[in-house]
Structure 1
């Protein structure tokens, strides 16, 4: 019997997503776990894997199109089933492509990966009731625009009808809107009326907001920046942070790293040691390897650690799973792989989810010390600074040693002060005795 492939929820709160490209064609055999489609989010292009085997019978949402989470995007025929026998009723809901199902008034909520796309790749140009003036008489025109472009244009009061799209099938995409940013400074020709009466704004104040000074560069918010703003604002306003700091002597670690890297092509970094030591400390202090939910705390038996990666326009935090069970070389290879694919926008769905702890390292930029904001639902994040020569006391005498400052940000709902101190002491001990990281 044919099976429906539905648009997956790529993150908590996601309502829509867009199809970047299909990795299989109609008639191709598909095995369970095989990547079949690349789905675009604001932070990455995520590969989605088939949940069962079959033959791709129909594609319901083409490349460049979008759909609501849970709506059908494709149909898989069972083994031995003729593609021509796949009944149209295999999809209990058609792909969202009309104003009736994707009206301009439908809200879009930013997901953990950013603001995802409204569901329809083709939207009838019409005014939302009670919010926009009716269009002039005449035949309706279909407007091909990416969901993000439609949202940004609506927020700025921009008319897309005059733009020429450079995306698939002439679709207007974000780069087309950014090339048209001069319009952002102009008052919208048909501003949407507010749903409820708002206090009058003096004309001078309105002009100041809409038309910045000539020496001010207007940089439109990207979906990634909006997602980062939303997530970190949520974190600072709902998660009770507290901070602990440790100064760690890393002379032995640097010497061990130099010996390990002799003759190696894929070199081990200091950050690889840090991530492995974080995992070891979570195994030693398992009470800290947990997250908060409204119903209960969830404590984990293995260390799945997110690593902050800088990408153009923001950052992502792919998760490396089972770090406590990996060798140092395996940890290094896993991190390098995720960094490379994160910067290429090719992370997989599962790599952006889960974990209980994050690591953010700015030491390579020369930053000596900083405090990071917790990435919900994680219970902690370790901010790692640069290793610098510093005065140290050895056997009562002053000497020079290489010191790294780390700052632990902890969620007080999950981790109390004494528990955080125990975890940080365990981490510090591993870093100062680096051979213990390898066993």
Structure 2
């Protein structure tokens, strides 16, 4: 059981995506674990053959508890030759099934129905197989109402049930615990700057003019790219700090992107190695992350490998936001919504769209000078959108 957050102590195994005899490689999804922040797909970091599933579905397991045993080819051969146990678990049946799975590795994943975290939790509580339900959410995703609608006729809600905590309340508890720990243990300091984003907005208008809605780019993609480029230039803003090892800068920039979930809650999955992406790839990756976050299909690596977080209020909303750092990261970029304001350009006052950027930083790792360099690099990138 991996740790999927600074305050995670245990998780509930809700789904296996493999079976004994399956061949897996690094990055394959092997299981789905339910945490306070929703359903997370667990990836394997080993290659080999699944020898045994040690954990039972529906069981809550502490971080570090064994879930499955994966054997490399050589290890399998040694076991078969050196002990009687492997003969109780004959290699022949798995080998017979393996070609089908190897030829089409996707079906094991595809067979798992898409469902929101809340729906997964409620279905698990009621013992309902999600595969028997039809989803009414975007793209056929099973939502909480689909599960509740199934049981409503035969299990009317009581006052006690109505007052019980919802999955989103559990998520809020997890967020509160993580943010409380962050504020208590990380010496935060903040720097803000209001940035002229008129060039970025005009760039997007020209680019999106002839594109269909599903291919249009959002201002958030430019902010993510600008953050990645700025973090690459100021490495002290990009990495993890732990009491055991101190600060470890990351060689790549994996921005965690704060995603508001429908119905409540917030997650910040990471988009991997954004500094090497194109602007189009960044936008595509963001769409994918948001869709999977809201469908309850994030991966464990996306929840643990973020190196700096971006939280944006989008196209409308408040002018300014000051965020709390997600441990063990050392910085968070908060962006208010664009607002039209009088601005001085070449000695004249003109109307311009501006955005207020606020960086929350860890004083154990950086100081005002480094954060100011980061803000300057971010501003340069946003004001030259063609170079993103």
Contact 1:246–1:428 at 8 Å: present in 2 too?
A: no
Query: Residue in 2 aligned with 1:251?
Result: 198
Residue 409 of structure 1 aligns with which residue? Answer: 360
Tell me the equivalent position of 1:287. 236
Q: Return 5+ residue gaps in structure 1 as ranges.
A: 1-6, 90-145, 150-163, 186-216
Question: Secondary structure of 2:321's partner?
Answer: coil
CA distance in 2, matches of 1:412, 1:76: 42
Equivalent residues of 1:245, 1:408 under 8 A apart: yes
Cα deviations by residue, 1:332-354 (Å, 9 ceiling, x for unpaired): 11111111111111100000013
Show the counterpart of 2:182. 235
Match of 2:318 among 340, 358, 367: 367
Q: Does 1:167 align with 2:127?
A: yes
User: Who is 1:400 aligned against?
Assistant: 351
Q: Partners in 1 of 2:60 and 2:87 — Cα distance?
A: 23
* Structure 2: segments with no counterpart, 5+ residues: 90-119, 130-143
Tell me the CA shift for residue 366 of structure 1: 1.8
Query: Equivalent residue for 2:222?
Result: 273
Partner of 1:379: 330
Number of residue pairs the alignment of both structures matches: 325
Preserved CA contact (<8 Å) 2:6 2:327: no
More divergent stretch after superposition (45-54 vs 413-422): 45-54
Deviation at 1:425, TM superposition (A): 1.6
Pairwise CA RMSD of aligned residues? 3.4
Give the corresponding residue for 1:21: 15
Residue 72 of structure 1 and its aligned partner are, at CA, apart by 3.6
Residue 275 of structure 1 and its aligned partner are, at CA, apart by 0.7
Aligned counterpart in structure 1 of residue 160 of structure 2, from 175, 178, 183? 183
Structure 1 or 2: more helix by fraction: 2
CA-CA distance at 1:268 after TM superposition: 1.1
Deviation at 1:35, TM superposition (A): 1.8
- Alpha-carbon shift at residue 397 of structure 1 (Å): 2.2
Instruction: Decide whether the 8 Å contact of 2:241 with 2:248 is kept in 1.
Output: yes
The answer for the alignment partner of 1:139 in structure 2 is: none
Contact 1:77–1:86 (Cα < 8 Å) also in 2: no
Deviation at 1:396, TM superposition (A): 2.1
**Shift in CA distance, 242/259, structure 1 to aligned 2, threshold 3 Å:** same
| Bigger shift: residues 404-413 or 219-228 | 219-228
Quick one: distance in 2 between partners of 1:303 and 1:75? 32
**Would the aligned equivalents of 1:290 and 1:414 in 2 still touch at CA under 8 Å?**
no
- Larger mean CA deviation between 294-303 and 402-411 belongs to 294-303
CA contact (8 A) 2:182 2:326 kept: yes
- State the distance in 1 between where 2:173 and 2:310 align: 22
Distance across 1 between alignment mates of 2:311 and 2:10? 30
1:89-139 deviations in Å (ceiling 9; x for gaps) = 9xxxxxxxxxxxxxxxxxxxxxxxxxxxxxxxxxxxxxxxxxxxxxxxxxx
Measured against aligned partners, the alpha-carbon deviations of 1:221-253 in whole angstroms (never above 9, x if no partner) come to: 732111101111111222222222111111111
Q: Could you tell me whether the CA contact under 8 Å between 1:291 and 1:414 is conserved in 2?
A: no
Is contact 1:382–1:406 with CA below 8 Å preserved after alignment?
Answer: yes
Q: C-alpha displacement at 1:316, in angstroms? A: 0.4
Q: 1:364 to 1:27 in 2, by over 3 A?
A: same
Bigger Rg over Cα:
1
Go from structure 1 to structure 2 and tell me whether the alpha carbon gap of 1:303 and 1:401 turns closer, same or farther (over 3 Å shift). Answer: same
> What secondary structure sits across from 1:36 in the alignment?
strand
Aligned residue among 393, 408, 418 for 2:369: 418
CA distance in 2, matches of 1:283, 1:28: 39
Listed one character per residue, the Cα deviations across residues 127-179 of structure 1 (whole Å, up to 9, x for unaligned) are: xxxxxxxxxxxxxxxxxxx9x99xxxxxxxxxxxxxx962259xxx9989x98
Task: Tell me what 2:258 maps to.
Answer: 308
Q: Secondary structure at the residue paired with 1:408?
A: strand
SS in 2 for 1:421: helix
Structure 2 SS opposite 1:390:
strand
Cα gap change, 1:257 to 1:65, in 2 (>3 Å) = same
The two structures have a TM-score, normalised by structure 1, of 0.65
Structure 2 partner of 1:86:
86
Q: 1:219 to 1:27 in 2, by over 3 A?
A: closer
